[in-house]
Structure 1
């Protein structure tokens, strides 16, 4: 009996300790912990402890499970990042090493589910030798390729592309599948590679091991973004200033709206409970002294937020923010009784307008300072030659020019943001680039002195084949870029849209390739800026055409300049799948030859009319660069060229263009030509081009003899064209 009483006393003390230590994470009377995992509201354990049935958590034998997701195990709930980390089972089929298939089991996000696969807190990891792609409803959204070799990697525990690679999701996913090609581990028989989505924090901290992924079932931690509907938010009273509306990008212009309680850096606890917030120790001392708490972002060498710096400001000492709301209610009640409801409404409305304008003005000024506006003004004053080259636009000016960023003004939506067409007060038509997703990764790229330096440098570029940067607006969280408007769309649309009434002739394709090469050579040489500039994202969708089909390179959102005394940049891999230099993927060293490789893919795209990643007649997805190199080695490269290119080109021209593209796509960057050499060779081909009809035997065109086609010498040069053929090419 005494043992039984002691047991009950121990349980009472444990419950009391838990309740006292964590009183601000759950609703009153609800269980806080399940094992060693905190389950904060809007999630909850038990009846009426969560905001809705979708957020109920079952605690079974000190382990939390989520019934809404087929009872997966909950590892962590993060209120600041709005994520829940769960353990999902995974199985790999290793019976076929040439083509394996991996499938996530035990979790299915339905259309009505509030959960999404988080793009910020997950990594897509591929281990083995081969390729892996994540598909969203059959469309490839991201992926990476690995290589295997005998020598050691050099840096341990790093996924650098040799037997292992990793990448991020481009947007939030509701569902996904994987397409794996030739994925096998380096090591011999029965060694199977793997591809999986994994929580970035668990992977980086080494709390997840992939050794059993290729064998039997294993569990993998994955982060899910949880979203609150408007109905669910109406049941929550935030402890700070209310809700923010968060839009989760789901690709193809779609998004899911969610409500999120504001979580200031100075607060701890649970912002989803009216009494859940409390000041941290530093902020509490600051407030007691009559100060105001402020936190500033601190960035590391890679322009990423690494920590937060706390500052206690005493500017508003006589006007405390944390005054009790009862005083304001009493004052408002007294005024309303004395002067009447109508007068009170008029004063309230006027005060609301004044306060909102003051807050907006202070916000714009804060963003202007944080984004380097003062530095830009100082550079313009100190350098007389820069006057007029870089122009600062106000937010109001750009809102008027774009009808408050109306959807009717959208020119295009890409990975770097949305581009709007605008009309300035002086009558100029401009393109305004605005980031729709205000997240840390985009702030990392656009904020700080490096961004201002690049704006100053890029605004000095005056070249007929480069889109002119007119200026920027620094009064928003993410700066807006303003450039000249180019009216005739992208080169990608001209090549790949079947409904295009005016297909590109071979002469136009050579002209466009020459102009793009000329612009890149100009940037690499540093002419006009004294500093070489690397574009880092050369592709047909970043090449615009004006009314006269003159090519202009655009989208310098990922560009970087380099000092003359340096040979390369060491950066995180940024670019577009299908155009990325394999050497850059392995070393993370970017130099001018990486732009040359991307240009080689563009040149092959112009010659073949195929997309950088396309589906062959056998139904297999492949990279255009690899397909082109294989055709060159087999001696049948002409067979994959576009019909119009074959019909209008001569033997010498087609072989010269093919060999030039082959040199640009060399695996080793040192073996590739410079962009200036590429420009001179294309100019020579362009000036000698004479449109003609192809007249050659079909067997010769298809390369039946498997002879490698090489560019003829001057003595062998002739203008004998190929004969036309009626059969479609194997890649079409």
Structure 2
């Protein structure tokens, strides 16, 4: 048997025989590569360093490109965000707001424009736990500003441009107002898709909740109702007669009357309010408002006057007196109708006691409730010109409240009387009597027949 020829090994330095094979190794100072080649260690280190340098340079270049791309993208996003915010600012009426503020000739206070970050921080990114009110118009969040001030941030549901006009209008109107019984506007944010007004925080909800819902923590007593009615009347008198330009609220109702921490009234929601020139007597507008509170005369003519606010306030007075909602549910023996209609019928038929809220029927004097009812009756006169002014209403309500709180005045309080014919005549002039009892009697009584028989 012939042998295979022996193949020469390829080792450059040393060859180590093994059974049927061999391995290579190198002399000191050399490094084996590719199983048989020997390379000086200095060369290997040089190559490694070269590869490392190339890798480092490539990594630096890559990082530089990545950082440059990231910076460019950041700048692009910032420009887009800025552009978007400017677009929101214009769309949300910022330019119109500036124009109206500048044309107000100093009557409008400086309006703080909040940033989106400020309000997100204040409301904990609009946490659901911060929601204090929800409705068809939007959601209200409780927030805390950096300085510790508690505010209410309103996220409205704006579906069309008219709602934006309402928002702008409310900001302009409220910036002209400074009254303890009108909710204060701290500022707004126009950098979001939906403009965000920021109000003072009113903690105790709406008057409607206390009239129509049971509350175990607070009772709407007759005394509280007198105070609330007087405070709201004072706020409306301020709007009509004291503000730099007369303001018609146009949506007075119990849900737009808030109660603060001391249960003082705060008139809110000026979205459809209008500021008019002093020489104007009315506004001709598309009919807006809430069913049950709308002035029938305004509904028919589309002409809104200060007496239209008086009518709506009259409905609130009846709510306070009766505890009924402005629109009554249909009964089996009766058709559904407004609270105003029910009240007017009860007054004309001498059935006032039948509709007074049972929660207060035993609290106040009969004469006080009769006087209160007379004010409401006059406010609800179908002829707007025969309704009282808010100044007259304020004086009458303050007289009742003073009589309620003063034992001396209560002793001399005369029974208030009225006649159907007199209730449809205008109030003569502003009250001037210094006597509480004579003031109420002069403004609310006649000599025809009593509202109720002596019992």
Name which of 630, 637, 658 aligns with 2:345. Answer: 630
Give the match's secondary structure for 1:583: helix
Change in Cα spacing, 1:678 to 1:474, as seen in structure 2 (3 Å) is same
Cα gap change, 1:423 to 1:690, in 2 (>3 Å): closer
What secondary structure sits across from 1:645 in the alignment? coil
Residues in 1 aligned to 2:108 and 2:355: alpha-carbon distance in whole angstroms:
51
Q: Secondary structure in 2 aligned to 1:646?
A: coil
1:418 equivalenced with 2:139 (yes/no): yes
**Partners of 2:103 and 2:375 in 1: how far apart?**
45
Please tell me whether the aligned partners of residues 122 and 146 of structure 2 are also in contact (alpha carbons under 8 angstroms). yes
| Residue 408 of structure 2 is aligned to residue 408 of structure 1 | no
Higher relative contact order (CA 8 A, sep 6+): 2
* Residue in structure 1 matching 2:111, options 387, 390, 401: 390
From the CA coordinates, give the structure whose radius of gyration is larger. Answer: 2
Alignment of 1:493 with 2:214, yes or no, is: no
Q: Does 1:359 align with 2:80?
A: yes
Decide which of 515, 531, 544 is 2:231's aligned counterpart.
Answer: 515
Structure 1 residues 387 and 645 mapped into 2: Cα distance closer, same or farther (>3 Å)? closer
Asked if the contact 1:544–1:554 (Cα under 8 Å) also holds between the matched residues in 2, the reply is yes
Alignment match, 1:505:
221
How far the C-alpha of 1:340 sits from its partner, in A, is 11
**Aligned ranges 1:217-616 → 2 under 5 Å:** 352-374=73-95, 376=97, 385=106, 389-446=110-167, 451=169, 455-525=171-241, 527=242, 529-615=243-329
Does the 8 A contact of 1:438 with 1:478 survive in 2?
no
Per-residue CA distance 1:108-165 (angstroms, 9 max, x = gap): xxxxxxxxxxxxxxxxxxxxxxxxxxxxxxxxxxxxxxxxxxxxxxxxxxxxxxxxxx
Structure 1 residues 495 and 381, CA, compared in 2 at 3 Å: closer, same or farther?
closer
**Partner Cα distance (1:566, 1:382) in 2:** 19
What is the count of residue pairs matched by the alignment?
A: 365
| Stretch of structure 1 that moved more, 381-390 or 417-426 | 381-390
Q: Secondary structure at the match of 2:328?
A: strand
CA shift in 2, pair 1:708/1:644, >3 Å: farther
Q: Aligned to 1:673, which of 365, 385, 388?
A: 388
Distance in 1 (CA, whole Å) between partners of 2:114 and 2:179 is 23
TM-score between the two structures when normalised by the length of structure 2: 0.71
Matched with 2:30 is none
397-406 or 372-381: bigger deviation: 372-381
Q: Deviations over 1:167-216 (max 9, x none)?
A: xxxxxxxxxxxxxxxxxxxxxxxxxxxxxxxxxxxxxxxxxxxxxxxxxx
Residue 684 of structure 1 pairs with residue 405 of structure 2: no
SS at match of 1:430: strand
When residues 518 and 382 of structure 1 are mapped into structure 2, their CA distance, relative to the original with a 3 A threshold, is: closer
Distance 1:380 1:534, change over 3 A: closer
Q: SS where residue 434 of structure 1 aligns? A: strand
Aligned with residue 651 of structure 1, among 366, 372, 378: 366
Residues 503 and 571 (structure 1), Cα distance of their counterparts in 2 relative to 1, 3 Å cut: same
Distance (Å, rounded) in 2 between the aligned partners of 1:642 and 1:543: 19
Residues 158 and 164 in structure 2, CA contact (< 8 A), matched pair in contact too: no
Shift of 1:682: 0.5
- Return the offset for 1:341: 9.8
In structure 1, C-alpha distance between the alignment counterparts of 2:402 and 2:448, rounded to whole Å: 19
Conserved in 2, the CA contact under 8 Å of 1:649 and 1:691?
no
Q: Any unmatched runs of 5+ in structure 1?
A: 1-337, 693-706, 724-732
Maintained 8 Å contact 2:109/2:175: no
Measured on the aligned residues, the alpha-carbon RMSD in Å equals 3.5
Residues 379/584 of structure 1: CA separation in 2 closer, same or farther (3 Å cut): closer
Residue 406 of structure 1 deviates from its aligned partner by: 2.5
SS of the equivalent of 1:614 reads coil
CA distance in 2, matches of 1:626, 1:414: 28
Contact 1:409 1:422 in 2 (8 A): yes
CA contact (8 A) 1:655 1:709 kept: no
Q: Distance in 1 between matches of 2:150 and 2:83?
A: 30
* Corresponding residue SS for 1:404: coil
The structural deviation recorded for 1:375 is 5.7
Shift of 1:350: 5.5
Query: Contact 2:108–2:172 at 8 Å: present in 1 too?
Result: no
Q: Given the two structures, how large is their TM-score scaled by the length of structure 1?
A: 0.45
Does the aligned pair in 1 maintain the 2:368–2:400 contact within 8 Å? yes
The structure 2 residue matched to 1:642, chosen from 348, 357, 369, is 357
Q: For the structure 1 residues 430 and 590, does the alpha-carbon distance in structure 2 shift closer, same or farther, using more than 3 Å as the test?
A: same
Structure 2 residue runs of 5 or longer lacking an equivalent are: 1-58, 408-419, 424-440
Q: Residues of 2 paired with 1:617 and 1:346: CA distance?
A: 74
Say which SS state the counterpart of residue 584 (structure 1) adopts. helix
Q: Is the 8 A contact 2:107 2:244 kept in 1?
A: no
After TM superposition, give the deviation of residue 598 of structure 1 in Å. Answer: 0.6
- Offset, 1:383: 7.8
Provide the rounded CA distance (Å) in 2 between the counterparts of 1:721 and 1:647: 18
Question: 1:473 offset after TM fit, Å?
Answer: 2.0
Preserved contact between residue 651 and residue 722 of structure 1 (Cα < 8 Å): no
Distance 1:377 1:708 in 2: 52
